[in-house]
Structure 1
C-alpha cells in the first residue's frame, strides 16, 4: 500500500510539517510518483545523475525553518533540487556520512549484550563463498534484499 508521505506528515502535524527530516537512503532512492518516471527516462538515455527523490520529499515535508539531514550517500550531481523551497522556507540542510569506525565497536558490543536487535534489517544470510551472489541480490534488490549477513 502506497502512502502519500507529504499528506500523511501534514495530517500528523496539523498542517505544519515535520521539525526535521532525514534522508538516509541517498542515491538508492526510488520515487513513487512522477519523479520516478523522470528518473527512469534519464537512466534510459544514460543521463545519469542522482535520484534525489527522498531529499526532495524531505524538503517538501519539513516545516518552515525546519532541518533536513542528509546522511544518505550521493556520488555525483543532483538535478531538480528544490533550492527555492530551501531558501524561501529558511530550511537548514545538514549533511555528512557517519563515522563508522567510531561507532562500530560500541554498537557491536551492544548487539552482543542483547541491548540491540538488528534482525529487523537482516533479510538474507549466506556463506562467505557466496559473497558475489549476496552482493548481486543486494544491488538489484532481488527477493526484497535489504541486508546480507555473510558467515565464514
Structure 2
C-alpha cells in the first residue's frame, strides 16, 4: 500500500478544492477534490488494472488538458513510485504520457516537468520488462523528453526486442 500512502501525501500538497474539475461544464462548477479520492479508492481496492476513468473527463477531456492536469500528473507519479502491480503501472504511465502530451502546450509542458522527476522509474520499467505494455508506455513517455534522446537511444539498442513492433 505504499502507493496509497504516497498519493495521500502528494494529494495534501495541492488545494484540490480550489481547482475546477473538467467535469464542471456549464454553470455548475465542481472542485477537483474527487480526483485524489477516486485514485486512492481504486488503489486501496487491490487492483490489477487501474484504468484511466478516474482522470478522464476530469484532468483531460479527449486531448484537452483541464485545470487539474498538473496536480493529477503529480498523483500519478506518486502512485507509480509506490511500485504497484504491472497493470496499474501501465495505466499510470499512460496517464503520465497523455497528460504530458495534451493540446495545451503550456499545461502539457508543466505536466512533463512533473513527469521528468520520475525519469529513472521509467528506465527501470523499460529494463525490468515485467509487462510489454508498461515498458511501451515508459518508452513513449521518455520519448517526449528531448533531453533524454541520447540515453533513450542507448536503452533502445539494448531493449528494442522487448518493445512492441511499432517501437522497434
* More helix as a share of residues: 2
TM over 0.5, shorter chain: no
Q: TM-score of the superposition, structure 1-length normalised?
A: 0.27
Say which one has the larger Rg.
1
Query: Which structure shows the bigger proportion of residues in strand conformation?
Result: 1
